[in-house]
Amino acid sequence: MNQSDPITIAVIQYPGTNCEYETASAVEAAGMSAEIFRWNRHPEELIRFDGYVLAGGFSYQDRVRAGAIAAKKQIIGTLIREAAIGKPVLGICNGAQILIESGLVPGNHPGHVEMSLASNAAAGWRGYFCDWVYLRCQEKGASGAFNLDFTPGEIIPMPVAHAEGRFVSSDPALLDRITQSDQIAFRYCDAEGRYQPSFPINPNGSFLNAAGIYNPEGNVLAFMPHPERAAWMRQIPLDLDGSLRTATLEHCRMPGPGLRFFTSMKRFISNRRTGR
Amino acid sequence: MTSNITIITEMKTRDAIASSAFHCLVHDLAYNNRIVKLERRECWRIELDLPDLAARMELGRRLAEETKLFVNPNKHLYTVRTSPPESIIRTGASESSIVHVIVTEREDSAGKGALNQLRSLYRIDRHIDSISFGFLYTLIFAPGVADPMGLAAEIAQLTDRAHGLLCNPHSQMFEVF
């Protein structure tokens, strides 16, 4: 593989996935090539890709449990092998639920399911929630493939749309390990960056306001908000509190914070190719 | 004195969730030689302060038919039971090959939500202490399969990608009977 070869990303499409086209669009806007990859193609065809995105939606109509059936498919077995050699994998919303149900994240005991994305249960809110929230990037600096292009502690707006987004585990020691090993990539916060556990700052009751969790190696991210819906500033409501309130028309033509998940992915893959 | 009733609903048409779960067990998790059928129902267990059996059954009927919280008559059949729902299978399979698994949420939003709605929307709060919700899966195994209870528990409890499906123990609980 040469440094000049185009970077190709497979955007996985299950029956019920509904964000694959805007996700592919964001991948391409970041300067990579995207291919929508149906779940029932031969899994070995996945090997030629440089990275993978499990897009949002309702795979298998969320039957049994969100992500439960999709996680059992052969294609995930191949993703697990490719992730093990360091390729980046981003699971967005339902994609995050699939990563959790398959044991890829948090991945402290590879192969074992260590967490659940449970039904939203924030103080003052239960059930489906669709709105804009604020996230704060890791304060110690990027620890993985998808936040390389963010500054430590940066606060960004991002839309959420889910009913099962509460990261939980029955193992309290696991939550400590995740925290200590800096696997929480993004946390829900208010417009000033304060972590408050209550709704709507924390829209689902997730522990430590976790919005996205890495595997220990930092190449797999389960992320509940939708970066592909914030890839351009024009997608971000101007009436949000914070610095975006003063946005101009020119500002709206600029890339949004969501695009930087994909430019980070591109940089991570480029760095892998050059051995950095 | 506390007693309870259970409203059990099932789809009038083919249950897509049960079909998908069965397909997953047979084709993705290799239980194809052992499980022959999977059925699914929804259970609302209602704790009551109502000792009289006839009064409990009548309240169950009213909750099922006069509220829109438990039963959608366009798509559900329902029964009201005063005992756990072990004997509801209509198949001809031998009893020893039938195992029930009930899966509930550790934080039961559906049950709490239904109780809140009964009180706030329908103004029904007398006699009802609590409501809990669960999915009741009925697993029908091939005749002669060894340890059907143990097999049902293995199918229920998600441990890794190759084992378990019905219950993620980090947010759910299950009971086999």
Whether A24 has a pLDDT exceeding 60, the answer reads yes
Residues A95-100 have a mean pLDDT of: 98
Full-model pTM: 0.93
Q: Which residues of A touch B20 (CB under 8 A)?
A: 60-61, 63-64, 69
Whether A189 has a pLDDT exceeding 80, the answer reads yes
- CA separation for the pair A114, A107 (Å, rounded): 8
* Dihedrals phi, psi of B113, to nearest 5 degrees: -65, -40
- CA separation for the pair B101, B155 (Å, rounded): 9
Confidence (pLDDT) at A142? 74
Q: Which residues of B touch A83 (CB under 8 A)?
A: none
Three-state SS for B121? coil
Which has more pLDDT, A125 or A226?
A226
Contact yes or no for B160 and A112 at CB 8 A = yes
Contact yes or no for A68 and B171 at CB 8 A = no
If you compute the radius of gyration of chain A from its CA atoms, what whole number of angstroms results? 17
Confidence (pLDDT) at B90? 47
Prior bond to A106 cis, omega within 30? Answer: yes
Confidence (pLDDT) at A201? 93
Confidence (pLDDT) at B95? 59
> A153: which 2 tokens?
């502690």
Confidence (pLDDT) at B39? 96
Share of chain B above pLDDT 90, in %: 69
Residues A16-35 have a mean pLDDT of: 98
DSSP H/E element including B109: helix B109-120
What are the pLDDT digits (tens) for A67-86? 999 999 999 999 999 999 99
* Dihedrals phi, psi of A235, to nearest 5 degrees: -85, -10
Confidence (pLDDT) at A242? 52
Domains of chain A: 8-273 (3.40.50.880)
Residues 53-92 of B with CB under 8 A from A: none
Q: Which of A64, A116, A166 to mutate to test the interface with B (most CBs of B within 10 A)?
A: A64
Contact yes or no for A121 and B107 at CB 8 A = yes
What's at A146, amino acid-wise?
F
- CA separation for the pair A52, A87 (Å, rounded): 8
What are the pLDDT digits (tens) for B62-104? 999 999 899 999 999 999 998 655 555 444 555 568 999 999 9
Confidence (pLDDT) at B148? 94
Contact yes or no for B170 and A170 at CB 8 A = yes
Share of chain B above pLDDT 70, in %: 91
Q: What is the mean pLDDT of chain B?
A: 90
Confidence (pLDDT) at A244? 56
- CA separation for the pair A72, A86 (Å, rounded): 21
Whether A95 has a pLDDT exceeding 50, the answer reads yes
Closest-CA residue of A relative to B17 is A63
Closest CA to A20 of A50, A48, A52, A46: A52
User: Which residues of A are designated catalytic?
Assistant: 93, 226, 228
Question: Distance between the two ends of chain B, CA-based, in angstroms?
Answer: 26
* Dihedrals phi, psi of B116, to nearest 5 degrees: -60, -45
Whether A28 has a pLDDT exceeding 50, the answer reads yes
Quickly tell me which residue has 């099922």 as its tokens.
B64
Quickly tell me which residue has 């998600």 as its tokens.
B158
Question: Among the listed ranges A181-190, B3-12, B124-133, B168-177, which one has the minimum average pLDDT value?
Answer: B124-133
- CA separation for the pair B96, B41 (Å, rounded): 20
Whether B125 has a pLDDT exceeding 80, the answer reads no
**B150 inside 8 A of chain A by CB:** no
Residues B157-177 have a mean pLDDT of: 96
Question: Among the listed ranges A22-31, A227-236, B15-24, which one has the minimum average pLDDT value?
Answer: A227-236
Confidence (pLDDT) at A141? 76
Contact yes or no for A68 and B169 at CB 8 A = no
- CA separation for the pair A164, A67 (Å, rounded): 10
Contact partners, residue A83, CB within 8 Å, separation at least 6: A89, A104, A215, A219, A220
Q: What is the mean pLDDT of chain A?
A: 92
